[in-house]
Structure 1
Amino acid sequence: MEFRNFCVMEDEEGVRLDVFLSEQLEDMSRSYVQKIIKQGLVKVGEKVEKAKYIVRENDIVEINIPEPKCLEVKAQDIEIEIVHEDDDIIVVNKPQGMVVHPAPGNYEGTLVNALMYHCRGNLSSINGIIRPGIVHRIDKDTSGLLVIAKNNNAHSGLAQQFKEHSIERTYEMVCVGNVKQDEFVVDLPIGRNPSNRLKMAVVKGGKSAVTHFKVIKRFDGYTHIRANLETGRTHQIRVHISNRNTPLLGDPVYGAKKSKFKLEGQLLHAKTLGFVHPGSGEYIQFDSCLPEHFENIIKILESNYSL
């Protein structure tokens, strides 16, 4: 087992034990942390505590992380676009409609299934059985760049950069509505929507979330925008832009249920990804072209919705 401990700081107290640990161990899911707690592998001040325990300043939290089990995810010969690959990492350009990792009810056809086949199982095991190699995610209907760790050292190095918000992540999108400002920053906390737990929302007491936006081009009723993530919360861009009453085109969750453009999901693409290579220590950056479905919408807007 891997032993780790943490001291609760003043600004970290007042939250559940499972929440505190999932924030410290950002490369692990909260459900996986809860599982470890249920196994009695987490102590606070030498006492085994439950997930609902509220941490206090100066608490010493100790966790024993079990050795990873043999990966049981099915390797599938699914074509993926590889942008870069070496002994430590692999960068892929995920298509719209592909789920990143298996989940209940959806154990096949994911990016992880494809990676298991391509990498012959040589992926980091830190993030549990069904998420090998996965350091960060993008939504099923968001296309674009992802970096995957091929070993645990690479995973830890990348996870630390995500925790420090030092990774460069730039997205492009089309919004419904006319965005008037050329450049603007949205600095609003994000948490679970209290009236719909399946959605995120701008909520008091949520996690800090900052997004930098810049208009690329305006159309009649639509705006092509670039966004740079300063933080990386769940649905951050989708929540922040919809909070301004200009939701993403095709977003059925935070925007209109239907779209005249017959899209299969939000028009959002993770275009640029830059980080310090966990092996070499050198900064590297990758850029991807807009996918065909995105380019087609831009052509339609330029032809029929030009200002």
Structure 2
Amino acid sequence: MEHYDMTVHEQHKGERIDKYLTAVEADWSRTQVQQWIKEDRVLVNGNAVKANYKVQEGDAVSVHVPEPEPLDVTAEPMDLDIYYEDQDVLVVNKPRGMVVHPAPGHLTGTLVNGLMAHCDDLSGINGVMRPGIVHRIDKDTSGLLMVAKNDMAHESLVNQLVNKTVTRKYTALVHGVIPHDHGTIDAPIGRDKKDRQSMTVTRENG
């Protein structure tokens, strides 16, 4: 475990503690810092604080950074269809039939297994079973996925999705005789009352 001690200077007075820490330590992401705050790893003047605490000039801040949790995912060399890659992100085309990340019943053969063999610098924000995964698509859906190689890139991509500055489009392939050239499918989807593991069309909570 690494230990950091710092003193708040005047220019940061009034900033939220999570914003302050990401400002003084560029390698830390806000999501990461907020998790440490929840775990009482961030102390101000010897006391645990909440993420909305506003620092004051002269505050003594201590941060106990936990050791990185070892990845428990088997790296499997795969012929990944990578559309783009740089030092921060990569965009990969996931084929139909491939699960994105390991889960009970799918511990191998997932996209994450292949990514682990392709590069060893994936973000850890989503935990040890989903390194680098910013968003996902279903097993039987093919398409492009953005993958983060570090936590700062991960947080930036998530913010872009939340703020809708990244556009996602889906194409549905159908077969049979379609009597209309265009139309609207109004079928709200919600949790199935009879099977909580499944989703269904429901107007009650869809």
TM-score range for the pair, normalised by the shorter chain length: 0.5 to 0.7
> Where does residue 157 of structure 2 map in the other structure?
158
- What's the CA shift for 1:78? 1.4
Structure 1 segments of 4+ aligned residues over 6 angstroms from their partners: none
- What's the CA shift for 1:182? 2.9
In the superposition, relative to structure 1, how do residues 71 and 163 fare at CA in structure 2: closer, same or farther (>3 Å)? Answer: same
Matches within 5 A, 1:200-215: 200-203=199-202, 204-206=204-206
> Where does residue 22 of structure 2 map in the other structure?
none
CA distance in structure 2 between the partners assigned to 1:98 and 1:151 by the alignment: 24
CA distance in structure 2 between the partners assigned to 1:75 and 1:110 by the alignment: 10
1:167 equivalenced with 2:130 (yes/no) = no
Matches within 5 A, 1:124-273: 124-186=123-185, 189-203=188-202, 204-206=204-206
> Where does residue 95 of structure 2 map in the other structure?
95
- What's the CA shift for 1:61? 9.5
Farther off after superposition, 160-169 or 79-88: 160-169
> Where does residue 108 of structure 1 map in the other structure?
108
CA distance in structure 2 between the partners assigned to 1:165 and 1:184 by the alignment: 25
CA distance in structure 2 between the partners assigned to 1:159 and 1:185 by the alignment: 29
1:117 equivalenced with 2:117 (yes/no) = yes
Matches within 5 A, 1:77-96: 77-96=77-96
CA distance in structure 2 between the partners assigned to 1:112 and 1:122 by the alignment: 12
- What's the CA shift for 1:150? 0.8
In the superposition, relative to structure 1, how do residues 192 and 112 fare at CA in structure 2: closer, same or farther (>3 Å)? Answer: same
- What's the CA shift for 1:80? 0.7
Please give the root-mean-square deviation of Cα atoms over the aligned residues, in Å.
3.1
More strand by share: 1
TM norm structure 2:
0.62
TM-superposition CA deviations, 1:227-272 (whole Å, max 9, x none): xxxxxxxxxxxxxxxxxxxxxxxxxxxxxxxxxxxxxxxxxxxxxx
CA distance in structure 2 between the partners assigned to 1:112 and 1:77 by the alignment: 11
CA distance in structure 2 between the partners assigned to 1:157 and 1:173 by the alignment: 29
> Where does residue 71 of structure 2 map in the other structure?
71
Gaps of 5+ in 1: 5-26, 28-35, 43-59, 207-307
- What's the CA shift for 1:92? 0.7
> Where does residue 258 of structure 1 map in the other structure?
none
Using the aligned pairs only, state the percent identity: 48
Farther off after superposition, 166-175 or 124-133: 166-175
CA distance in structure 2 between the partners assigned to 1:178 and 1:196 by the alignment: 32
CA distance in structure 1 between the partners assigned to 2:125 and 2:74 by the alignment: 18
CA distance in structure 1 between the partners assigned to 2:201 and 2:163 by the alignment: 22
> Where does residue 46 of structure 2 map in the other structure?
none
Amino acid at match of 2:76: Q
CA distance in structure 2 between the partners assigned to 1:122 and 1:188 by the alignment: 41
- What's the CA shift for 1:180? 3.8
- What's the CA shift for 1:129? 0.5
- What's the CA shift for 1:166? 3.7
- What's the CA shift for 1:70? 2.0
CA distance in structure 1 between the partners assigned to 2:86 and 2:129 by the alignment: 22
- What's the CA shift for 1:194? 1.3
Classify the secondary structure of the residue corresponding to 1:158.
helix
Pick the structure with greater CA Rg: 2
Aligned residues: 151
CA distance in structure 2 between the partners assigned to 1:193 and 1:179 by the alignment: 28
TM norm structure 1:
0.43
CA distance in structure 1 between the partners assigned to 2:183 and 2:161 by the alignment: 23
- What's the CA shift for 1:95? 1.4
CA distance in structure 1 between the partners assigned to 2:71 and 2:99 by the alignment: 18
Amino acid at match of 1:199: S
Structure number with greater CO (CA < 8 Å, separation at least 6) is: 2
Classify the secondary structure of the residue corresponding to 2:132.
coil
Amino acid at match of 1:133: G
